[in-house]
Amino acid sequence: MAGYRIREARPADSLALTEALVEAANWDPDRTSPRVSVLADPVRRRYIAGWQRPGDAGFVAEDATGEPVAAGWYRVFSADRPGLGFVASGVPELILGVRPVWRAQGVGRSILQHLVRRAEADGHTRISLSVQRGNFAQRLYLSEGFVTVEQRADADVMVRTFL
């Protein structure tokens, strides 16, 4: 497989982020939801609505032709309109989606590392996420220093704290 490059996400990347959101929701090939169903979920829509707000940060991975193959970003949510991995006001929550053919190629790890460095540089002391149990990405998050802080019905909320 050809190489990829990672760049900062821009306001014009809302489509790439939307596609990554759909990929993240459809991590299990045996239980996929149509794109329209994923985007109809009001909580999931919070991750992309009005991209790029102040405080949002993200990265897009592109293949050799410039086609987006993955994206990861974070947003800060309020307690009255939380995301799926909300832990506290002021703690950014990340989401990461990788096209299936690019999974297990290091793309997701690279974007995750970029996001963690960016969140720390932006002055955050921790970052959170939600991952469904059984999702292979949970091993990635554990290997990058995330720990489970809450178990919900079918997903775990994980946090990475910066030293």
CA atoms within 13 A on the CB side of 163: 1
Average pLDDT, the chain: 93
Tell me the per-residue pLDDT of 112-134, one tens digit each, with 9 for 90 and over. 999 999 999 999 999 999 999 98
Tell me the per-residue pLDDT of 47-102, one tens digit each, with 9 for 90 and over. 999 999 999 999 999 999 999 999 999 999 999 999 999 999 999 999 999 999 89
Nearest to 49 by CA among 10, 18, 94, 85: 18
Which residues are CB-contacts of 32 (< 8 A; sequence separation ≥ 6)?
A: 26
